[in-house]
Amino acid sequence: MSDVADMIAALMRREGGYVNHPADRGGPTHFGITQATLSTYLGREASLSEVENLKAPLASLIYLKNFYYGPGIDQLPETIQEFVFDSGVNHGPRQALIFVQRSCNLLGAKPPLKEDGIMGDNTRRAASTAARRFSARFIKILIAERRHFYFKIVEAEPAQQVFLQGWLKRLAEFDDAETRFA
C-alpha cells in the first residue's frame, strides 16, 4: 500500500474512535491522536473536549505532518512505509526509525547505521538496499523488532499487559510479509 491516504484510513481504523483508558500512558486519544499531540499541533494546550470531538480530517493532517512527512517516512521504500508509519504512531516516529535502522544493521548494512531514530542519507540508502535485497525477510525482522519492543514495555511496566493482546493483533496485520512484500 503506497497511497498515504489509504495508509491513514487503515491506521485510523486500527486506532478507532475516542478512548480514555486509565492505564494508557498516552492519556485520552481520538483516532490515535493524543492530547499532547493535538496540543503540539494547535500550538496550545488542547482540552479533553477537543480530543473527544476531534474530526477525522484534522487527525489526517496531523498524521501527514507529524508522523509521515515530518520524520521522513515518505522517503523509505514503499514496501515498508505503512508498517513504519503505523509503528511511528504507536511508538513515536523516532522509535519507528530505530526499528528500521536496527533491522538494516541486522541485515548487514554497510556502513552500520547509527540507531538514533533520525532519517538521513545512510538510513534511506540502507532501507532501500534491504528492501530490494531482502524483501519479505526485511519486513519480518521489522515485525520481530516491534514485537520485542512490546514485550519490553510490558516487562518494564506490567500494567501495560492489558494492551498486549491488542498490540499483537495490530502487529499481526503486517505479518503476512511473504505475500505482501515478496
Verify that 141 and 64 share a domain, yes or no.
no
Verify that 60 and 92 share a domain, yes or no.
no
Rounded to the nearest 10°, the torsion over CA 31, 37, 43, 44 is 90
Q: What is the pTM of this model?
A: 0.92
Verify that 82 and 169 share a domain, yes or no.
yes
- Of 69, 86, 105, the residue at which a domain comes to its end is 69
Cα(9)–Cα(14) distance, rounded to whole angstroms? Answer: 9
Verify that 97 and 129 share a domain, yes or no.
yes
DSSP code string of 41-94: HHTSPPPHHHHHT--HHHHHHHIIIIIIITTTGGGS-HHHHHHHHHHHHHH-HH
Distances from the Cα of 48 to the Cα of 99, 149, 157, angstroms: 32, 29, 25
- The confidence score (pLDDT) of residue 26 equals 85
- If one counts the domains in the chain, the total is 2
Verify that 31 and 102 share a domain, yes or no.
no
Verify that 99 and 36 share a domain, yes or no.
no
- Give tens-digit pLDDT for 100-148: 999 999 999 999 999 999 999 999 999 999 999 999 999 999 999 999 9
- The confidence score (pLDDT) of residue 2 equals 54
- Of 69, 89, 117, the residue at which a domain comes to its end is 69
- Give tens-digit pLDDT for 24-39: 888 999 999 999 999 9
Cα(69)–Cα(97) distance, rounded to whole angstroms? Answer: 13
C-alpha cell of residue 30: 481520538
Verify that 56 and 84 share a domain, yes or no.
no
3-state DSSP helix/strand/coil percent for the chain, to nearest 5?
70, 5, 30
- The domain containing residue 94 runs over which residues? 77-182
What percent of the chain clears pLDDT 70, i.e. is strictly above it?
95
- Of 36, 69, 102, the residue at which a domain comes to its end is 69
Cα(28)–Cα(156) distance, rounded to whole angstroms? Answer: 22
Verify that 81 and 59 share a domain, yes or no.
no
CA 1, chain centre distance (Å): 15
Write down the residue that cell numbers 491516504 correspond to: 5
